Structure 1
Amino acid sequence: MKASRSPAAVRHAFENASLRIPIADIMPLRQLTPAILKSVKYAQIAASIAEIGIIEPPVVVRDKSDPDRFHLLDGHIRIDVLAKRGDIEVVCLVAMEDEAFTYNKRVSRIAIIQEHKMILMAIEKGVPEERLARALNVNIASIRHKKSLLEGICPEAADLLKDKHVPINTISELKKLKSVRQIEAVQLMIAMNKYTISYARSLVAATPDSQLVRGKKGMKGLSAHQIELMENESASLDREFKTIEQDYGTDHLELVLATGYVARLLGSARIVRHLAQHHPDIFSEFQKIVELQKAA
């Protein structure tokens, strides 16, 4: 009986345990610029560390010639803040290899709705609003604004936006719309990949009064005729979008089948010779289709 092959061992990215390391033994890969030191991000991290300590450990890698010294891969601001506070040591994750990239570039930044949910969870667990404000280095009004972020937003629209990076003022504009129109507006934003406050305002301006929460709107610099034109254009765009959305699945399936058939045709040497000799233009186009399929 043939022995079964053992699965390949999974290679660890980090050492098995975190390590408490003297800050003096950690060598930064870059220096923080004056602009970074004065940035909002630096102030927020400093405030968070002062209030609740280090949440995400810095990432280091051992020096190849001296294993007791370390190169800092990720966490330059955190280490700088700790050093200026007078801390001597910090708990770090020790990477097995220096992959020569900044870890933060591989991290998906938290979306505004996810931040809202985290704030609600913290408050439900008894964390005072004042402490949250200090930890995030924002004023308490900002915490309260984010706490009530989804008041007036229908659940379907909120779900569509849950992982999108949407400005908080865009959410405020969407609150002017009734639920059905909110969903339509969010779908248009996603289709256009555009979540700016100006785009949200244009969608509100192009919305009929009957779909607004507070009825008739007034737009500075626009006449009633111009607003009516925007509403008609928006309605036309909505209809075109829904038509395209309905046809997309069928069109995509037909395209996949067609490109697959062309690829099989070009897999035959006899057909390739015939096309090359008698229909070179068609043969050239078929080759482009197959190349595009391979690149996809």
Structure 2
Amino acid sequence: MSTYSEPGPIDAVIQGFDPTCRTIPLTAILPVRAIGKTVKTSHKYKQIAASIREIGLVEPPVVTPAARSPQIYLLLDGHLRVEVLRDLGAAEVECLISRDDEAFTYNKRINRLSPIQEQRMIAKAIERQVPKDKIARALDINVRSISRKMQMLDGICGEVTGLLKDKFCPLAVFDILRKMRPLRQIEASELMINANNFAVSYASAILTATPQSELVDAQTPKRLKGMTAEAIGRMERELARLQEATSSIQDTYGQDHLHLTVAKGYLGKLIGNERVARYLAQHQPEVLGEFRKIADMTSTLANEAA
């Protein structure tokens, strides 16, 4: 019979960062990776520079004291921000002090801002009466682009917004989806997500294969350069069959994957038996080879298992 014991004291939570930021001279900050020569000509670098010039530094860089020189700090995150500040002639920057010199998390686990998230951010800024020209300067885009981003979700149903909220879809994709009825928009979004393909060309192919009755303008026949009405009709039928097949696979994927995992483990134990392996090697070498391939699989995807 088990007896109750009092729980031991809870260890104090170790903080990963200092509770307050610290202002550090830029000359005392050493980057942990080099900035390529072409980076400063990239759109991302220009956008960061425009944002810092217009509204200042929003997110402080992350640094940690060097082990041998406490007055020197290693830059873990914010290389472009620090480089922009140097180019702008700044002498110091307010930094977040990390108590660990691990830089993998900052540089490998970054959630980029998707177009829908950016649209919502712009909408909130406009609601707070921030001038459009100021937003445009902060994002390094023209005012006309601000208006286009604000209209991006016009005619897009809420379900599609939820499906694509963290996907990197070009603005032109939403222009294509807007030509479809809501249910078809959802189907098209699911097709793009399943294929992990959000290219304008793929969305255009889905539009071309969409039945006329599922378009917003059902009276105007679809036209595509170089394609006849018969070819478009074949595309519609092929895409419908593909969508049915994809849905069927999704319904059974989890169960099939579980069965394959169990079978893989069983075959691994089976051929691990010396007597069984010897018998198969003598009488069924081809079967033994296939069993070993299955047992050695590290992924169910062909391109990863290779």
Give the shorter-chain TM-score range: 0.7 to 0.9
Task: Verify the 8 A CA contact 2:181 2:214 in the aligned structure 1.
Answer: yes
Q: How many residues align?
A: 292
| Aligned pair partner of 1:205 in 205, 208, 216 | 208
| Aligned pair partner of 1:239 in 227, 241, 244 | 244
Task: Verify the 8 A CA contact 1:275 1:283 in the aligned structure 2.
Answer: no
Aligned ranges for residues 1-296 of structure 1 at < 5 Å?
A: 4-101=7-104, 103-215=106-218, 216-255=221-260, 258=263, 262=266, 266=269, 272=273, 275-276=276-277, 278-279=279-280, 289=294, 292=297
Shift of 1:125: 2.2
Task: Verify the 8 A CA contact 2:77 2:107 in the aligned structure 1.
Answer: yes
Distance 1:79 1:243 in 2: 51
Task: Verify the 8 A CA contact 1:259 1:293 in the aligned structure 2.
Answer: no
Q: Which amino acid aligns with 2:276?
A: L
Distance 2:43 2:55 in 1: 18
1:177-228 C-alpha deviation (Å, 9 max, x unpaired)? 1111111111111111111011111111111111111222111121122212
Distance 1:28 1:95 in 2: 14
Instruction: Decide whether aligned partners of structure 1 residues 255 and 31 sit closer, same or farther in structure 2, where only a CA change above 3 A counts.
Output: closer
TM-score of the pair, normalised by structure 2: 0.83
1:267-294 C-alpha deviation (Å, 9 max, x unpaired)? 9x9xx46634545556776665555489
Task: Verify the 8 A CA contact 1:74 1:102 in the aligned structure 2.
Answer: no
- Secondary structure of 1:109 counterpart: coil
- Secondary structure of 1:47 counterpart: helix
1:120-139 C-alpha deviation (Å, 9 max, x unpaired)? 12222222222111111111
Distance 1:137 1:181 in 2: 35
Task: Verify the 8 A CA contact 2:210 2:236 in the aligned structure 1.
Answer: yes
Instruction: Decide whether aligned partners of structure 1 residues 295 and 64 sit closer, same or farther in structure 2, where only a CA change above 3 A counts.
Output: farther
Q: Which amino acid aligns with 1:246?
A: D
Instruction: Decide whether aligned partners of structure 1 residues 6 and 210 sit closer, same or farther in structure 2, where only a CA change above 3 A counts.
Output: same
Distance 1:138 1:168 in 2: 14
Q: Give the root-mean-square deviation of aligned CA atoms.
A: 2.9
Q: Which amino acid aligns with 1:54?
A: L
Distance 2:232 2:62 in 1: 55
Deviates more, 1:22-31 or 1:174-183: 22-31
TM-score of the pair, normalised by structure 1: 0.85
Distance 2:99 2:198 in 1: 40
Distance 1:154 1:236 in 2: 25
Distance 1:31 1:289 in 2: 43
Which consecutive unaligned segments of at least 5 residues does structure 1 have? none
Shift of 1:256: 5.2
